[in-house]
Amino acid sequence: MSATIIDGKAVARDIQLQLAEDVRSLARDRGVVPGLAVILVGDDPASRVYVNNKRRMCEKLGMYSEEHLLPAATPREEITNLIKRLNADDRIHGILVQLPLPDRLDERAVLEAVDPSKDVDGFHPVNMGRLVMGSPVFVPCTPAGIMELIRRTGIDLAGKRATVVGRSNIVGKPVSLLLLAQHATVTICHSRTVDLVGVCREADILVVAAGRARLIGRDHVKPGAVVIDVGINREPSGLVGDVDFDEVREVAGYLTPVPGGVGPMTIAMLMKNTILAARRFAYCEHP
Ligand code: NDP
């Protein structure tokens, strides 16, 4: 058996077509053009690439975007003052602070300065809290993208066993909550988990977000399982995931590639959240 490869690029393109239509109708019906402001502190080359991709995607969908590129040494007050200005700017519906921030900055304090109604990354405690309570507004983008890829397999999650490897606030925890909301029985693994192979092997749905190249091999995977590889690991040969693709494709029922799986979905979901924020602004549905 060989797994069906889930083409994240194709799914993301499909979503973009719908989003471009949503942008047009919002402009037509309410005269509102969704606007995204991206703040990048420092000059991390990978972050720079992500910020450029976001700008290009905004242009492609007919959205307004602004980039704020700040030197690595920028004091925290200057960053939070910029965020306050953007919070009050009606052209901007979504504010994204590109992570990671330089070590000296208190990431939490910076993220908490973003108005929750413009927090299109979904990392503000208000939006995280809503997710925990089962009534999310802005779902973090990578977890939202993962759920969309799983949805498109057509598999009903109710009663299925789902295992998530990784417990970060960005991926592991929120995706676990989303799987739970779909009535899966969820197990979360991390670096202290005993018998990772055994726990993973019970999963009908296995989501891996550990940041360890090829952590998951054939033995971790139940035959026929859906395996979502979130990992992005840079190796001299190029990008590799947390899943050993060649081994696991022989066992899994569905598998996402790296690159071309979860990655393209993340940016599509960011655009979707920004359009949602603009729609809530246009129709006065602020929290
Ligand atoms: P973090 O480093 O914040 O978290 C990694 C998690 O994996 C931790 O909970 C850690 O456990 C766990 N872990 C590490 N090693 C092991 C192990 N050997 N066995 C079991 N668990 C382990 O990473 P992120 O969640 O931010 O990202 C994870 C990966 O996903 C990275 O490769 C990142 O680049 C990628 N990513 C991809 C995105 C995309 O758009 N495709 C978006 C975001 C991230 P513990 O808590 O105990 O330390």
Tens digits of pLDDT across the chain (287 residues): 799 999 999 999 999 999 999 999 999 999 999 999 999 999 999 999 999 999 999 999 999 999 999 999 999 999 999 999 999 999 999 999 999 999 999 999 999 999 999 999 999 999 999 999 999 999 999 999 999 999 999 999 999 999 999 999 999 999 999 999 999 999 999 999 999 999 999 999 999 999 999 999 999 999 999 999 999 999 999 999 999 999 999 999 999 999 999 999 999 999 999 999 999 999 987 65
Q: Is the CB of 165 under 6 A from ligand 1?
A: yes
- The closest-lying atom of ligand 1 relative to the alpha carbon of residue 261 is 41
List the residue whose alpha carbon is closest to atom 16 of ligand 1: 191
Q: Measure the CA–CA gap between 217 and 45, rounded to whole angstroms.
A: 30
Joined together, the tokens standing for residue 137 give: 């507004």
- Which of 163, 159, 155, 157 minimizes the C-alpha distance to 243? 163
Substitution candidate for ligand 1 out of 193, 232, 234, 258 with most atoms within 8 A of CB: 232
83 vs 95: CA distance, rounded Å: 8
The Cα 165–Cα 196 span in angstroms is 9
For the chain, give me the number of helices (H) and strands (E)? Answer: 10, 11
Atom of ligand 1 nearest to the CA of 262: 41
Query: Is the Cβ atom of 171 under 6 angstroms away from ligand 1?
Result: yes
Annotation says 18 is catalytic: no
**Per the structure block, which two tokens stand in for 254?**
């569905």
213 touches ligand 1 (CB under 6 Å): no
DSSP string covering 18-61:
HHHHHHHHHHHHH----EEEEEEES--HHHHHHHHHHHHHHHHH
Burial class (CB in 10 A: 0-12, 13-18, 19+), 147: buried
CA angle 189, 190, 194 (to 5 degrees): 75
The first and second tokens of residue 257, run together, are 């590639």
Alpha carbons 254 and 241: distance in angstroms, whole number = 15
* Ligand 1 probe mutation, 54, 107, 170, 196, most atoms within 8 A of CB: 170
The whole-angstrom separation of Cα 90 and Cα 73 is: 29
Distance (angstroms) between ligand 1 centre and the Cα of 21 equals 34
Q: Whose CA is nearest to atom 6 of ligand 1?
A: 166
Long-range contacts of 156-160 (CB under 8 A, 24+ apart): 157/182, 157/183, 157/184, 157/205, 158/182, 158/183, 158/184, 159/183, 159/184, 159/185, 160/184, 160/185, 160/204, 160/205
Decide if 121 is catalytic. yes
Ligand 1 midpoint to CA 207 (Å): 11
Helix ranges, the chain (H): 8-30, 45-61, 76-87, 107-112, 125-132, 141-151, 172-181, 196-201, 245-248, 262-282
pLDDT tens-digit series, residues 149-174:
999 999 999 999 999 999 999 999 99
Catalytically annotated residue among 98, 115, 229, 272: 98
- Which domains, ranges and CATH numbers included, belong to the chain? 30-115 (3.40.50.10860), 141-263 (3.40.50.720)
What pTM does this model have? Answer: 0.97
User: Is there a catalytic annotation at residue 84?
Assistant: no
